[in-house]
Amino acid sequence: MLYLAGVVGFALVILISVSLHEAGHMLTAKRFGMKVTKYFVGFGPTLWSFKRGETEYGIKGIPLGGFCKIVGMTPQDDDVDPADEPRAMWRFPLWKRTVVMSAGSITHFLLAVVALWFAAIFMGLPNPALDGPQPAYVKVTNCVIVGATADNRDCIPGDPASPAKQAGLQDDDKITAVNGVLVPTYADLVNQIRKLPAGSQATINYERAGAQQQVNVSLASVQRPPVGDPTGPVSNVSALGVAGPVPPPGVPIMVKSNPIEAFPATAKFTGNLAVDTVHSLQRIPQKVPALWDAITGAPRDADTPISVVGASRLGGEAVEHSAWEVVVLLFVSLNFFIGVFNLLPLLPLDGGHIAIAWFERIRSWFAARLGKPDPGHVDYFKLMPVTYAVILIGGAFTLLTITADIINPITLF
């Protein structure tokens, strides 16, 4: 029941965020004197509405977003009343149109930053000292899972005992070398173990409570895909039976800040989030095959994109386990992603309208410098095939992610 409440609650939070996105467009447009005739939450048939001034506000039957209607967004709009022509959006200065079209994304960024600032004070943000590759501090598992799925399930009868546990390794041990080869990071440890013949012997050097120690371990033989490629070919490799990396003893995962310290902490986290978001967008085309494989029975790569359905399911899981920091960080990441995505220079996204407006200005500037006539406005009708292609691809990708999130969802616990 708590899981279901979390799913519904998180879906509602997403809907509110998108509604605030449209409110950002509406409020800035009204502030500049543009005419806004409609502001609705949802799509489809109208369930309820009222009119205040020149704008109709309401709720529609399909709660999958929202919209606001600004008169004359393009010069080709043919539904502009002659009396409203002076207030048509395309007639306003470029900077005002840019502000209005980017206001939706800015709203998402503000939601994310404000949530992060409060999180830094009351919940804490990930410790920046743990950014980047980490030393090979480990948690010893009770068993190893032989099959290629290597999921996070608990041990069951028949699973081989963990070689690390049998050899006497303990949680928070720092492994420093394997067969004399230094492993300064946990990633180096994994790669070095996998280089050894499946099921072979290994000499493990480790540090415990400041003391250097050594132990011989009989490694387990397991089936795994390549590191970083869960859909790659499976092969027999060695396993030590540890998980990681874990923070060094005494180093907290989350760090709280006072209200003043929260500003630089928020700024640093936001900068890292921006870089990660751009990288995620760049990797989307590479992840499409993994999404299809997840639908057809392969293990779901946790790094594949998720839909609103997947995000809501993750939110429900986090609520069910009282992992409120996960709920907040999921909310922040989702808002930041939507904000960046909407600024891509593609129609019908906001970034597409901004790109065209600036292209018109730059083209006019060059024409004036060359003594040529102003080429005027871009004909949006000529761009409709590209727009439809973007909508078609976006719709297919959305359907793919929703299907994967229903059939083979990413889980946290």
Given the residues 22, 56, 207, 325, the one annotated as active site: 22
**Residue appearing with tokens 């068993």:** 143
Determine phi and psi for 294, rounding to 5 degrees. Answer: -65, -35
The gap from C-alpha 347 to its chain's centroid, in whole angstroms, comes to: 22
Residue 150 has, within 13 A of its CA and on its CB side, a CA count of 22
For residues 252 and 109, give the distance between their C-alpha atoms in angstroms, rounded to a whole number: 27
* 220-258 per-position pLDDT tens digit: 988 888 877 766 788 888 989 998 888 888 888 889 999
> Is the Cβ–Cβ distance between 99 and 26 less than 8 Å?
no
What pLDDT sits at residue 152? 56
Residue 68 has, within 13 A of its CA and on its CB side, a CA count of 27
Determine phi and psi for 48, rounding to 5 degrees. Answer: -165, 140
**Residue 374: CB partners within 8 Å, gap ≥ 6?**
364, 367, 368
Q: What is the pTM of this model?
A: 0.84
> Is the Cβ–Cβ distance between 69 and 89 less than 8 Å?
no
How confident is the prediction along the chain (413 residues), in pLDDT tens digits per residue?
Answer: 788 888 889 989 999 999 999 999 999 999 999 999 999 998 889 999 999 999 999 999 888 788 999 999 888 887 888 888 999 999 999 999 999 999 999 999 999 999 999 999 999 998 887 878 889 899 999 988 887 654 556 788 888 889 999 999 999 999 999 999 999 999 999 999 999 998 889 999 999 988 999 999 999 988 888 877 766 788 888 989 998 888 888 888 889 999 999 999 999 999 989 988 888 888 888 888 888 888 888 778 778 888 888 899 999 898 888 888 889 999 999 999 999 999 999 999 999 999 999 999 999 999 889 888 988 889 888 889 999 999 999 889 999 999 999 988 988 87
* Chain region(s) in the chain for CATH 2.30.42.10: 139-243
> Is the Cβ–Cβ distance between 174 and 137 less than 8 Å?
yes
What pLDDT sits at residue 80? 86
86 has which bridge partners? none
> Is the Cβ–Cβ distance between 72 and 87 less than 8 Å?
yes
Is 56 an active-site residue? no
* 338-361 per-position pLDDT tens digit: 999 999 999 999 999 999 999 999
Number of other residues whose CB lies within 10 A of the CB of residue 352:
21
Any idea of the CA torsion for 175, 179, 181, 185, to the nearest 10 degrees? -20
For residues 13 and 331, give the distance between their C-alpha atoms in angstroms, rounded to a whole number: 8
- Between strands 125-126 and 139-140, the pairing is unpaired
For residues 271 and 124, give the distance between their C-alpha atoms in angstroms, rounded to a whole number: 17
For residues 2 and 319, give the distance between their C-alpha atoms in angstroms, rounded to a whole number: 7
The fold adopted by the segment(s) 139-243 is Pdz3 Domain (2.30.42)
